[in-house]
């Protein structure tokens, strides 16, 4: 099949090939133009990017080896935290964020009366971990939507 462009007949194959190779013509100019650093940091979540069986310290090392400067995680035991901090110090990678809540935050949180203390205790514990990891930003969940027996619906 041939396409007519500006009075010239061009095969579809030639048109596709030209379109595919056109960016390569501008590659030297793109390399020469120094792009400013982005106004954000890409943080790799080590909980979802690696197998659960892999130690968290090894995950962080792999992220650093790929040139990333930040990582995030959900939770870790004291022993894991110590190993993670060793890798962080050795590589210079930073912890950008941690999950600021655990069981209470992902279930009842502040959405169920009587669960407030457990929720705030979790946040307090996670704030200490965040400080330990250099001031990582906590990601906080307020809890799941609770059933409202007055209206018979989920919602606030």
pLDDT at 23 over 80: no
**Domain residue ranges of the chain, discontinuous segments joined by +:** 2-32, 43-139
Answer whether CATH 3.90.1150.10 is correct for domain 43-139. no
Taking only the tens place, the pLDDT of each residue in 112-139 is: 888 889 889 988 998 999 999 999 998 8
pLDDT value at residue 82: 97
Report which of 48, 101, 103 is spatially closest to residue 72, judged by C-alpha positions: 48
According to DSSP H, which parts of the chain are helical? 12-25, 27-32, 56-65, 78-91, 103-106, 116-132
Task: Give the pLDDT confidence of 96-117 residue by residue, as tens digits.
Answer: 999 877 888 778 888 888 888 9
At residue 10, φ and ψ (nearest 5 deg) are -130, 140
């Amino acid at each position: 099949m041939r396409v007519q462009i500006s009075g010239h007949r061009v095969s579809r194959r030639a048109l596709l090939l030209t379109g595919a190779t056109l960016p390569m013509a501008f590659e030297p100019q793109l390399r020469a133009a120094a792009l400013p650093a982005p106004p954000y940091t890409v943080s790799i979540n080590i909980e979802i990017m690696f197998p659960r069986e892999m130690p968290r310290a090894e995950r962080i090392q792999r992220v650093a080896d790929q040139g990333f400067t930040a990582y995030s995680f959900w939770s870790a035991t004291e022993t894991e935290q110590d190993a993670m901090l060793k890798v962080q110090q050795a590589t210079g990678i930073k912890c950008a964020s941690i999950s600021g809540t655990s069981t209470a935050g992902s279930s009842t949180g502040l959405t169920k009366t009587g669960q407030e203390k457990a929720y705030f205790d979790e946040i307090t514990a996670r704030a200490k971990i965040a400080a330990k990891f250099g001031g990582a930003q906590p990601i906080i969940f307020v809890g799941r939507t609770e059933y409202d027996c007055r209206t018979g619906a989920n919602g606030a």
